[in-house]
Structure formats: structure tokens, C-alpha cells
Structure 1
Amino acid sequence: MLYEGVLRKMQTENGSPIQYFLVFENDFINMNQALDKEVQIDFIKFQCLNCGQDRPIYRQGFCKTCFYETPTAGEWIMKPELSTAHLDKEDRDLEFEKKMQLQPHIVYLANSSNVKVGVTRKSQVPTRWIDQGAHEAIEIVEVPNRYLAGITEVALKDHVSDKTSWQKMLKNDIEDLDLTEWRTKLKPYIPEEVSQYFIENDKETHLEFPVLQYPEKVKSLNLDKTPTYKGVLKGIKGQYLIFEDNTVFNVRGSEGYYVGITIN
């Protein structure tokens, strides 16, 4: 069956296992139902997620012009400590920034290839952990805005990683760790103005991904270099499709690519 549309990150529903959906304008695919089937991906054109034009994608699904203009790609998204809406100070669009920044945020520990610290809006738990391919995660603090979450993450980065090895995550080269113990160990390093928001009793969340076979070596599919690819889907983890021949495809990393997908 043929599906066609612009790629956006897969939508998810937490369960045993997690359910994954590729959502297009007029259709969607439950990717779990494509496991053990042959999937063909054909790159057709670009479609910027902001302007909709057929322009080369620069970053995060946007063409270069839109990436530097749209409020949905402000620097505060990748660096929460640069948030300024709480000061009534605009970056690109104050109304949008207030909506996004002035809401509850979680600083968390997640384990996908190693323990890492991260930030997400409370409404994105556990979606953010799923997108990172974390098999376990725990909340550290819940704060009222993005800035406080950002300065907490910066303070903790000196004592725990803020990066994930996506290759290790995809190969399932992982170990279970006591995140409660890690949270206690990191508590003294939380900034003083955030200490009142420390979460004492939250338990670890464990996540189960729909993977039949993990890759032994990871070969990344780049649609610019390989505009047509065909393989048997063996798993989905994070925002990656995992194929039988060890090829992996980062759906989120290919946002803004308009594709045809055939499932046999």
C-alpha cells in the first residue's frame, strides 16, 4: 500500500510496547503493523514545515530562511537557559514564547545509552523520553517556566552527561541503572532558586519499544544520498526505523522531506 506526505516526527502512544504513527495530511500509518514487512521509502521533494515551499531543508524541518525567522526554531528551544519570556522579553514572537516557556517544565534523567539530564515541558512526558529511545527515566524537578529548567540542566551538566549515543541506543547496548540513586546524588548541585521544586518520591518510568531485531552495526539512511530505499522493518526505537540489513532511518532528522512510503 502506498502512502505519501511530508515527514514529521512519529507520534506515539505509550504501551507495551509503545505504538508509533506516521501522520500525513490526509492519512496515517501505524508503523507497528509494518513490522516484519518490506517498506520502501522514496524521496519526492522538500516541503518546509513553516512556509511549505520546495526548498532544501536546513535544520529541524525548516528551510534556511524559516529556520532563522520562525519562532518555533528560536535558540531557547535547544538552549532552555536562554528563555526570556518570564522577563517579558521577546526573542522572535513574545506571545508564542510566553505560551511555550511559561508552563510547567520537567528536568529529568533518562537512560538510553547512558544516564543523561534533559528538559521538557511537563505535557511532553513521557513523549520526550520515548523520542530519545530511553528505556528508563525519572523526574528530578518540576518548575513553572523553561528558564528555571534550563539553568538547572546547565548546573547538572557538570556532573552528568547531556548527550545520548544514538548508535549505542539503537544497538540496545545498555544497562539498567538506579536513577533514584542518581537523582539523590545530583540534588546538591541543583541551583538554590530551584531547590524548592525538587521531586523526592517520583519513581522510574520504564519504556518498552517494538523491536524484533537490533542492528549489529548501524548504517544511517540519508535520503539526499539514497533517495530510494527498500528493506524489511524490524524495529522502532526513539524516532528511528530499524531495518533487517542494519540500516536505520531517523524520521525526526528527516522532517520536511516529502516522501512516498510503500508497505508490502
Structure 2
Amino acid sequence: MQYQGVLTKMQSEIGDPIQYYLIFESDFIHINQLLDKRIQIEFDGYQCLACGKNKKIFRQGYCYDDFYNQPQVGDWVMRPELSTAHLDVEDRDLEFEKKAQLQPHIVYLANSGTIKVGVTRRSQVPTRWIDQGAHEAIEIVEVPNRYLAGITEVALKEHVSDKTNWRTMLKNEITDEDLIEFKNKLKDFIPSEVQSYFIDNNKETELVFPVLQYPTKLKSLNLDKTPEYSGILKGVKGQYLIFEDNTVFNIRNNEGYVVKLSISNK
């Protein structure tokens, strides 16, 4: 089987295990069905997710120019506390920013080997946790806009990390943690204007990933340096493909790359 298309982040579907799909313009691949099969990846150019041109990808699927003018990659995306749509203040495109920022957001704890605090839109639960490779997560507060979620995250990251350790996550070096206890310890550090949004419900979400074999050492595939690679797929976790030879490939980090994929039995 052969496929060709522009990489964008894998779509996922909650299940036991999680189901993953790679979507191309005129086709899609159900990644779970490729476990234990050989995948050959060939780099075939770039296609910026904004302008569509064959220009070198700078970050997050965009060429240099579009990275600095597209509203969906404004600073407030990575730093929610910089959101200003609730003040009617534009960053790059106020209409877009209002739609994205002025909707319910969750501040959460996720355990992907180590506990981290994070922010996501309510509509992105549990997708955000899946993308981070978290095996368990719990909601702390639900607020009406991104700014309030951002200032909560800033306050809480004084007491818990806001980063995912991707190496620990991919090796599945899991530490058992009591997320409920962790959440309740953090309650007093939530900003006063957010205290009333604290979620008393202590429901935890558990996630199971389709992995047959976890890597012991990690070799990250870089298509700019290694434009052709072949390996046997052993798992999918977060936005990574995991191969038998300990190679891992971050699909999301390669958005905007045009690839040819060839699938065969071992």
C-alpha cells in the first residue's frame, strides 16, 4: 500500500486502546492497523499549512512568514495568560481570537510519567491529553475564557511542572500518583478570581495507548537529516510513532512536510 500527502497531527478517538488516524487530502490511514507492519517514510518536500507553498517549514506546519502572521499561532496559544480577546483587544485577528479564546477552558493535571499542569479548550478534552501521551488526567477548574485559564496555569506552575517529559512518556516510565490528592493540594494556589470555578468532581480519565513494545533508547527521526526511513511500527503514543529499532517519529513536529508512505508486511 502506498500513500502520499501532507502531514498534519494525527486524529484520535477514545477507546481501549485509543484509535489513531492520519488524514490526507483524499485518503486516510487507520494507524492502529499498521502495528507490526513495515512503514517506509520518504520526505518529498514542504507544503505550508497556510499558504500551501513549497516553502521550508519554520514551526508548527507554517513557513516563516505565515508563522508570524497567522492568528492560530499567536503568542497567546502557547501562553494563554497573554489572551486579550475578553478585553476586545486584537493580537492578529480579533474575530478569530474571540472564537478561540472566549469559550470554556479547562485547567488540568495530566500524568505522562510525570505530573504536569496544562490548559485546553473544553472541546479538546480528552484529545489534548491523548496528544500529550498522558495515561491519566483530572480537571481542576473550568473557566469561561482562555485568559482565566492562563493566569491559573501561571499560578499553579509555581508548584507543579507545566512541561511534558517526552522521553519519560515514550519509555512508559510511569510513576503512580494520586491525582485527586495532588489537585486538592493545589486548590489554595488558584487565583482568587478563579476559586469559584474549582471542579469538586474528582473523576479521573484513564487512557490506554496502542503500544506493543516501548523503546528502551530513543532515536528521533528528523526528515531534514534522514529523508528516507524504514521500520516496523510497534506503537503509537501521544503524537509519536514508535518503531522496533527505538526510532520515534513526532508527527506533529513534522506538520507541513509532504511524505510518501509505503506499507508492507515484515
TM-score range, shorter chain: over 0.9
SS in 2 for 1:188: helix
Q: 1:194, 1:209 → 2: CA distance?
A: 33
Trace 1:191-206 onto structure 2 (pairs within 5 A): 191-206=191-206
Match of 1:112 in 2: 112
User: Offset of 1:113 from its aligned partner?
Assistant: 2.1
SS in 2 for 1:116: strand
Q: 2:116, 2:204 → 1: CA distance?
A: 14
SS in 2 for 1:9: coil
Q: 1:176, 1:189 → 2: CA distance?
A: 23
Q: 1:200, 1:33 → 2: CA distance?
A: 39
Match of 1:168 in 2: 168
SS in 1 for 2:153: helix
Amino acid paired to 1:231: G
SS in 2 for 1:42: strand
SS in 2 for 1:184: helix
Trace 1:41-190 onto structure 2 (pairs within 5 A): 41-190=41-190
Amino acid paired to 2:116: K
User: Offset of 1:6 from its aligned partner?
Assistant: 0.3
Amino acid paired to 1:221: L
Amino acid paired to 1:208: V
SS in 1 for 2:119: strand
Q: 2:3, 2:233 → 1: CA distance?
A: 16
Match of 1:258 in 2: 258
Give the gaps of 5 or more residues in structure 2. Answer: none
Q: 2:31, 2:139 → 1: CA distance?
A: 29
Identity %: 72
Deviation track 1:27-78 (CA, whole Å, cap 9, x = no partner) reads: 0000000000000110001000000000010011000000000111100000
Amino acid paired to 1:10: M
User: Offset of 1:176 from its aligned partner?
Assistant: 2.0
Q: 1:175, 1:144 → 2: CA distance?
A: 32
Deviation track 1:177-225 (CA, whole Å, cap 9, x = no partner) reads: 1100000000000000000000011311000000000000010000000
Q: 2:52, 2:112 → 1: CA distance?
A: 34
Please give the TM-score of this superposition, normalised by the length of structure 1: 0.99
Amino acid paired to 1:241: L
SS in 1 for 2:210: coil
Q: 1:147, 1:209 → 2: CA distance?
A: 32
SS in 2 for 1:193: helix
Match of 1:38 in 2: 38
Q: 1:184, 1:202 → 2: CA distance?
A: 9
Q: 2:95, 2:164 → 1: CA distance?
A: 32
Match of 1:15 in 2: 15
* 1:217 has 2:211 as partner: no
Amino acid paired to 1:63: C
Q: Show structure 1 runs of 4+ deviating over 4 A.
A: none
Match of 1:239 in 2: 239
Say what the alpha-carbon RMSD is for the aligned residues: 0.5
SS in 1 for 2:162: coil
